[in-house]
Amino acid sequence: MRYQRSRLMQERLADNRQRILLSARKLVSEGGFRAAQIAAVATDAGLSTGSIYRYFPSKAELFVEVLGEAVRHEIDILRALVQAPGSAAQRLQRAVESFAGRAFDGPFLAYAFIAEPADQEVDAERIRARRAFGDVFETVLHQGIASGEFPPQNADVAAACIVGAFTEALIGPIGHARGSRQDRGEVIRTISRFCLQAVSGRQEVPAAPGKARRRRA
């Protein structure tokens, strides 16, 4: 006797959930966790505060998901690049440039990813995220070391250095790259060369410019 939940309804529900996630993401990226109170998220999403709790059990869970969703997407892309054919150096370069490019375009992820959140649960998710990124880079480093492309090195620490390097360069406050005060391609190539030289110990000729096209996030 249950009424069939109409397709429209289902869409609206999924829609709301997504809108909440987007609003939360937007607010954090614009004003940090400070600016992302439940009430603000609700208003931005066009809902009441109570409705947020229909979709997420708590503020912490909401932001864990915001972070997790962004990270998962990023990791998927990185893993694909890292598993593609090519030398370790090429694959590392592609991964760094791809990541850096998106971070340049939409500083949100990297921002949330650096920020100290107000909540322990979110903090834990942030740690998982950083470790996940590091793991991807560590994989290529190990492959490069094994194949003799890269000299032996502490891949663990080096991977952390890579993550830190472009994080800081792109979104950290001294990242002069902020906005578009510097040429996108130039910044990204600098970062990728930095990382490649760092792990290979060889002078790297940056990939032909113009390949990494600007793409909106």
Partner DNA sequence: CATGAATGAGAATTCATTCAT
Partner DNA sequence: TATGAATGAATTCTCATTCAT
161 binds, among a second copy, DNA, none (CB under 5 to 8 A by kind): a second copy
> From the list a second copy, DNA, none, which binds 53 (C-beta under 5 to 8 Å, kind-based)?
DNA
Count the neighbouring beta carbons within 10 Å of the beta carbon of residue 121: 14
Residues in contact with a second copy by CB under 8 A are 32-34, 114-118, 120, 123, 126-127, 130-131, 133-134, 151, 153-154, 156-169, 172-177, 182, 186-187, 190-191, 193-195, 197-204
Quick one: tokens of 176?
């002069």
Relative orientation angle of helices 155-170 and 88-105, to the nearest 10 degrees:
30
Residue 79 has what DSSP assignment?
Answer: H
User: Which one, 84 or 166, has the nearer CB to a second copy?
Assistant: 166
Residues at the interface with DNA (CB under 7 A) = 1-3, 5-6, 8-9, 12-13, 16, 34, 37-39, 46-51, 53-55, 57-60
Binding partner of residue 51 among DNA, a second copy, none, CB cut-off 5 to 8 Å per kind: DNA
Min separation Cβ 14 and a second copy, Å: 15
Q: What is d(CA 83, CA 81) in angstroms, rounded to the nearest whole number? A: 6
Q: Within 10 A of 12 (CB to CB), how many other CB atoms are there?
A: 12
Q: Which of 95, 89, 199 is nearest to 152 (CA)?
A: 199
Residue 165 interacts, among DNA, a second copy, none and using kind-specific CB cut-offs from 5 to 8 Å, with: a second copy
Q: Using the minimum distance from each CB to a second copy, give the nearer residue, 3 or 208.
A: 3
Picked from a second copy, DNA, none, the partner binding residue 126 (CB below 5 to 8 A depending on kind) is a second copy
CA pair distance 84, 94, nearest whole angstrom: 10
* Cα 148 to Cα 15, 83, 89, 211, distances in angstroms: 50, 18, 11, 27
